[in-house]
Amino acid sequence: METMSAETSDWLKSSDSKDYFELLKFPTVGAQKENLRDCVQCATWLKKWLKSIGAEAELIVPSQGTGIRDQGLGDGGFALSVPVVYGEIEGQEGATTVLLYGHYDVQPADPLEEWKTPPFEPTLKDDGRVYCRGAQDDKGQFFAFLCGLRELLNTKTQRHRDKNINLKILLDSQEESGSVGLFKLLEDREFRKRLSADVMLVCDTSAAADLRPAIVAGLRGVNHFTVTLTAANRDLHSGEYGGIAPNAAQGMAELMASLHNPDGSIAVSGFRDGIEPPSHEELEAAEAGFATEEMYAKDIGTEPCGGQRGKTIVQRNCFEPTIEVNGIHSGYGGPGSKTVIPCQAIAKLSTRLVPGQSPSRTFDAIKRHLKDHCPRGMSVELSELTGDAAGFRLPLGSPLFRLAEDVLKELDPRGAVFQWDGASIPVVSALREASGAAPLLVGWGQPQDCIHSPNESYSIRQFQTAKEWAKKILSAL
């Protein structure tokens, strides 16, 4: 760095930055077998760190199983070998119990050639941002919160008063690939009892523009799965068989296009059944805290025209379901040409679901639609279903929201806005049910963090804000 502010210089000398950089170096891609050892090493490091601040901590490896969630990685045995980190700091009897949820796994770094710095070597640049895979999602978010907890525990006033809060810390190992192991653990009655809490804090969401605090009052649910379309028994010469053999690549394009009507609305019969529309108050609050179409256009480099025409950007992102094609693969894609008629095509699909929709019923509706619209001479199969999580919305009048608003007003004079996040954290709904806790989702992400993309980053300002939030909300609780 050519120039460095005093604040940045002080942060670099702190144990926070040293530990944060060490945590980021673990390539914890929880969806890949080759990173299993890295995940175990990172989990062990986190266990040791939690013990250093006074927590009882352990690694929990789920038992083997063959449930639907064990299929997400194509290898249930591997999926259930990645350990979840669990810790507790016990307070006095009758004290408020808080469950903190985060995840230490990260997305794959691909495409590697687009990274400007090595993806698992944290680099602080002169823009005040740390670049690394996981810098924000979710290592930066949950670890900044834990650093705030450490500072709170180390203050003189905290050491000399009764502990009036119980803390339970749960760090997921595969949130990015469906939380396979954690969902398996939640099938165990004893483990569910251990998670019993009054409040669940999640720091894995975004703030509003310019880091204005945002309380997430709802999340969309999610399903993701693979569609395989098969035609001939092998790739065929496009001259000898052109005009005779069905083309799987062309068939997949037609099949994917059939999912939507020309106006962008979803064409799958039964998919929208049961949708619970937002209230006028929710729509009004969402509009107040949402980015404009101009801001989105600047962010993504094109017009934000996805979804159904005639609906506002807030409706499309917060309160409407989606079916998105995440990728299509077929035939030859290398340099030059290879004149074949592909015999098979694969598509990756994800759906985002709103309250009232059933993940299983929406999946069945898509399955029926794809079977009914399968091109002649081809067969279609669906596999690798993961997610299976419903959407939820929380009441705006919640006492916990009122408390959070007061705390966030202390942190930022602008006060908080409410958001209904178009993204999903599939396991949050299940944890809410298992723990009985009221969820409070406040995070500090920003569009420039580029999560799930090359050159992911998290600013020192965001890290410090998340740390201060931890101290204030835990003190208030």
Please give the Cα distance from 272 to 264 (Å, whole number): 14
Let me know: does 105 contact 137? Beta carbons within 8 Å: no
Q: How confident is the model at residue 206 (pLDDT cuts 50, 70, 90)?
A: very high
Q: pTM (2 decimals)?
A: 0.83
Looking at residue 74, its pLDDT comes to 47
Q: How confident is the model at residue 337 (pLDDT cuts 50, 70, 90)?
A: very high
Residue in 245, 306, 314, 309 with CA at minimum distance from that of residue 277: 314
Let me know: does 470 contact 144? Beta carbons within 8 Å: yes
Q: How confident is the model at residue 2 (pLDDT cuts 50, 70, 90)?
A: very low
pLDDT tens digits, residue range 239-256?
999 999 999 999 999 999
Task: State yes or no: pLDDT of 70 exceeds 50.
Answer: no
What's at 229, amino acid-wise? Answer: L
Q: For 232-241, what is the mean pLDDT? A: 97
Looking at residue 81, its pLDDT comes to 87
Mean pLDDT, rounded, of the chain = 92
Q: How confident is the model at residue 389 (pLDDT cuts 50, 70, 90)?
A: confident
Phi-psi group of 94: left, alpha or beta (phi > 0 → left; psi -120 to 50 → alpha; rest → beta): left
Looking at residue 312, its pLDDT comes to 94
Q: How confident is the model at residue 4 (pLDDT cuts 50, 70, 90)?
A: low
Q: For 244-272, what is the mean pLDDT? A: 98
The burial of 363, by beta-carbon neighbours within 10 Å (0-12 exposed, 13-18 middle, 19 or more buried), is given as buried
Task: State yes or no: pLDDT of 72 exceeds 60.
Answer: no
Between 453 and 65, whose confidence is greater?
453
Q: What SS3 class is residue 43?
A: helix
Q: For 54-64, what is the mean pLDDT? A: 90
Q: How confident is the model at residue 388 (pLDDT cuts 50, 70, 90)?
A: confident
Looking at residue 68, its pLDDT comes to 38
pLDDT tens digits, residue range 141-187?
999 999 999 999 998 555 545 568 999 999 999 999 889 899 999 99
Q: For 82-88, what is the mean pLDDT? A: 97
Please give the Cα distance from 292 to 314 (Å, whole number): 9
CB atoms within 10 A of CB 242: 12
| Residues 118-156 as b or e (16 or more Cβ within 10 Å = b) | ebbebbbeeebbbbbbbbbbbbbbbbbbbbbbbbbbeee
Please give the Cα distance from 276 to 334 (Å, whole number): 46
Looking at residue 290, its pLDDT comes to 83
Q: How confident is the model at residue 291 (pLDDT cuts 50, 70, 90)?
A: confident
Looking at residue 7, its pLDDT comes to 77
Which stretch of 82-86, 162-166, 168-172, 468-472 has the lowest confidence by average pLDDT?
162-166
Task: State yes or no: pLDDT of 431 exceeds 90.
Answer: yes
Looking at residue 75, its pLDDT comes to 53
SS3 sequence of 117-152: CCCCCCEECCCCEEECCCCCCCHHHHHHHHHHHHHH
Q: How confident is the model at residue 64 (pLDDT cuts 50, 70, 90)?
A: low
- HSE, side-chain direction, 13 A CA sphere, residue 66: 0
Task: State yes or no: pLDDT of 377 exceeds 90.
Answer: yes
Q: For 468-475, what is the mean pLDDT? A: 97
Task: State yes or no: pLDDT of 102 exceeds 90.
Answer: yes
Looking at residue 156, its pLDDT comes to 55
Q: What SS3 class is residue 438?
A: strand
Q: What are the start-end ranges of the E strands in 173-275? A: 199-202, 214-219, 221-230, 236-237
Please give the Cα distance from 318 to 419 (Å, whole number): 8
Looking at residue 259, its pLDDT comes to 98
Please give the Cα distance from 446 to 210 (Å, whole number): 8
Looking at residue 1, its pLDDT comes to 47
Q: How confident is the model at residue 76 (pLDDT cuts 50, 70, 90)?
A: low
- HSE, side-chain direction, 13 A CA sphere, residue 333: 6
